[in-house]
Chains A and B, each alone.
Chain A
Amino acid sequence: MAELAHDPYAENALDIMFPPPEGGHGGHGHHESTGIDNRKLGMWVFLSSEFLFFGALITNYLLFKGRDFGADALYPVELYDIPFTSISSFVLLMSSLTMVLAHSSLARGDQEQTRVWLMATATLGLVFISGQFFEFTEFVNQGLKLNVNPAASAFYMLTGFHGAHVVIGVLMLLSLWGFSIRRGGLSEDHGMNLELVGLYWHFVDIVWIALFVIVYLIR
């Protein structure tokens, strides 16, 4: 580094260090060195970490699901209702569609339609959660309590944390919806918030895509 190809500061050093800005814009707004919006980049970064989060929960489940807890042990796999869960999965999958349609509507400037799709997404999310709630209640009634054995604990923890993520997503969707009502629409800035919530929502969906197969379909 002592040897530079040429000397950038040979003359008019400070003019070189502080050239006149292009386009006459005086230092307004920072440029994003990657060309990706700060908030969008942040959300993708955060979501990347969530692989490690859910990965640990899945590992936990895979470890315990087949272990021997005694002759009388009750395992989650014995209680699964695949038709029911399939419908649940389908619901969540479709909520990703409504989410992306919300984003699409906002991009076209159709605030009314955006709200419709936001509410649809939140509703489908709530349907999914109700399904989970119902499923868990059934399981508990059949004897699969949280603390009956580690496999049960692991199952509830995995699906429970996923469900919690869905609930948080629903809250964010409803906030956006409410915000849109209160302000007569989402501005461009809040449009970014919708995109961020969308990314989060889709991620929660792909976690379920994995869970449906790993937990329910692979026995």
Chain B
Amino acid sequence: MATTTTPSPVVTTSIFRRPMSTAGFWSWVTTADHKRIGILYGYTAFVFFLLGGIEALLLRIQLAGPDGAFLSAAEYNSLFTTHAVTMIFLFVMPVSAAFFNYLLPLMIGARDVAYPRMNAVSFWIFLFGGIFIYSSLIFGTSPAPVGGNLPGGGTDASFLGSIPNGGWFMYAPNSGLEFSPGTSLDYAAVGLQILGAASLISAVNFIVTIFNMRAKGMRLLRMPVFVWMTLVVAFLLLFSLPIIAIALFMLTFDRQFGTLFFVASQGGDPILWQHLFWLFGHPEVYILILPAMGIVSEVLPVFSRKPLFGYPAIVFAGAAIAFLGFGVWAHHMFASGIPTVAQAAFGLSTMTIAIPTGIKIFNWMGTMWGGRIQLKTPMLFSIGFVSLFVIGGLSGVTHSIVPSDWQQTDTYYIVAHFHYVLFGGSIFGLFSGLYYWFPKLTGRMYNERLGKTHFWLMFIGMNLTFGPMHWLGLQGMVRRTWVYSADAGLGPWNLVATIGAFIIALSVLVFMSNWAYSKRRGPISPPDPWDARTLEWSLPSPTPEWNFGKEPVVHSLDDFWHLKYEPVEGGRVRRRDNADELVAELMDLHANPEEEIHLPAPSYFPFIVGLGVFIVAYGIIYHTRPWGIPMIVLGMLLAVGSFMGWGTEPLEEIHEEHDDDPGHDDHATAPASDLAGVDD
């Protein structure tokens, strides 16, 4: 196969030779290819998913019966905190990033994102940020407050107690030095700061990519819904992350440098923390759900054999959800003593979000209605998404009624709500996507029976775990409390919930074995096994490194579908007689590009930037130690030096950073053979 891709020329003025290889371990460390970065995000996020899941199981064991003694109160606090932090920031967001990274350029007909190396930086900062947070297991401390005891008694937190333990929302004043001495909360605050920076960089990258790098003819309203959701999520990230960044700076400064923002005894304002946190925190939950909604919007039409019902409405509803999502944050504070007018206003705004959400639900149902439904695994998870998300959404609407929320707040009713939307919603949507795009990613097909087994086990397990929490909450079971007493009568349903949790765990094992096996030994899949609609299915599987052999010109929404299907009377379509030939020819065009394609060259610098940030993070926490400030300096030198390094590389390579095509460099014609074996 004649490949004519040329990584960037060897010419470089930097001290270290530019990495060249595209195989082997180091090629992953130095990659700037959006598909590889997506894969890195995916596997890393999955590891964190398992960690978060184990944390959940430990919690459920403790709560399986009344007066549980499996975990101490301090350990319980640590586990529910870290479970949330992990699932939100280290699993759902990065796995969404995995999808965005892999699919976005493919769906808009591009060869890479706008800033390939910045893209890699985002990943490495995320990875190091996650490792940093979890390193608190080893290095963190959370002794009792001065003169006090740990919750539940005792003064010394155990091994598990040293991970972040103030809740993922880190409410002041508990998160301050007085009540949380030691470093576990510093790991949380600094760690989240780092992760936020990674996501902000990604957001800028994706926004520019979507606006600027679409194939010709791909107008905004011809983009797949998944791309629209990517854009909307990027906007949410862009405007909400700076707020949490400031909040975390303030918290860190309070803890490290003695500022008094949240120290109530000195005139600080803990409610300010809540406002700043939730100004970010609410858009954050839409960041968590919209990617899954995008995936579902892709899967449902394909497996209903019908176009998406009301595409413009779904797009605008997504944008409306994001926009309104900025205006509801104080509904997390109804019980915090905010003024009555504020409560009424935010209650009202919260109710309005149900409208665009409802539009989406009805349009998804409209998509399925009258279609020829194919109940393959991706479709099962998408239908599961719609039903479970509706349940979660309904409980959400009940929270919007303020007096009702006063009853529900801090009970398991809330836990039920957000797990239905985040697990039944986001996670089911993400699994739908994993199965749907598995053939594109690997060139093989997963095992359908195992897939269905996974679905049903997970569906049953999830409902067993979180369904009872609705009435447990209404019966008064309090959140974030490590035991409940026997005479409350909460035991039986808690046991059911724990059993459900283990069924979920089993389903995950089924998934993992299916993935691992099918990736290597699954039957070879044709490039378009689902007879799908969007551009990524017009490419060979696994996706070639250069994506499109030739950049297509797009003529409509679902352009690939219209290549295969011609319109006939009555608004229907009919598969063209020559569809198979067309597709085969198309695949061939993309598999064997005729022209010279310049791809973003690998680079060490993004990895080193990540490393530098990692080192700075430790320096900040331990800045009072003798080696603390030197660490900050070292880390900054590494990070800044790397930025300078990659910014000052020769013109051709700079073009690669900002431009995946060094259009006018004179070394572009270096034949591949010159570079073979240069850096293996």
Contact = CB atoms under 8 A, between A and B. Distances in A.
Q: CB atoms of A and B under 8 A apart anywhere in the complex?
A: yes
Interface of A: 1-4, 7-10, 13-14, 16-19, 26-34, 36, 38-39, 41-42, 45-46, 48-50, 52-53, 56-57, 60, 63-64, 67-70, 146-147, 149-150, 153-154, 156-157, 161, 175, 179, 187, 189, 193
Contacts of A57: 246
B267 A7 contact: no
B340 interface: no
Interface residues of B, number: 80
Contact of B246 (A13, A56, A153): A56
B57 to A, nearest CB: 37
Contacts of A45: 204, 207-208, 238
A43 B315 CA distance: 26
Contact of A4 (B268, B562, B582): B562
B269 A63 contact: yes
Q: In the complex, which of the residues A28, A30, A36, A64 has the most CB atoms of chain B within 10 Å of its own CB atom?
A: A30
Interface in B399-414: none
B208 A27 contact: no
A13 B272 contact: no
B573 interface: yes
Contact of A52 (B240, B552, B558): B240
B17 interface: no
B405 to A, nearest CB: 25
Contact of A49 (B239, B269, B655, B660): B239
B216 interface: yes
Given A18-B553, A33-B213, A60-B261, A150 B266 contact: yes
Contacts of B391: none
A196 B50 CA distance: 42
A9 B114 contact: no
A52 B239 contact: yes
Contacts of A31: 216
Given A3-B571, A52-B239, A52-B242, A32 B212 contact: yes
B566 interface: yes
Contact of B211 (A10, A41, A56): A41
A107 B249 CA distance: 40
A52 B239 CA distance: 6
Contacts of A154: 261
A4 to B, nearest CB: 5
Given A4-B556, A179-B648, A9 B261 contact: no
A150 B567 contact: no
Contacts of B648: 179
B531 to A, nearest CB: 15
B260 A153 contact: yes
A175 B641 CA distance: 12
A64 B267 CA distance: 9
B258 interface: yes
B299 interface: no
B249 A1 contact: no
B557 interface: yes
A177 to B, nearest CB: 13
B115 interface: yes
B245 A42 contact: no
A157 B268 CA distance: 14
Contact of A150 (B218, B267, B572): B267
Contact of A38 (B114, B311, B586): B114
Interface in B545-590: 550-553, 555-559, 562-563, 566-567, 571-573, 576, 582, 585-586, 589
A39 to B, nearest CB: 5
Nearest to B263: A150
Contacts of A53: 242-243, 245-246
22 contacts: A2-B306, A4-B556, A8-B556, A13-B582, A14-B586, A16-B553, A16-B555, A30-B111, A33-B213, A33-B218, A38-B208, A42-B115, A42-B204, A42-B205, A49-B239, A53-B242, A53-B245, A147-B260, A149-B260, A150-B261, A153-B253, A157-B261
A27 B553 CA distance: 12
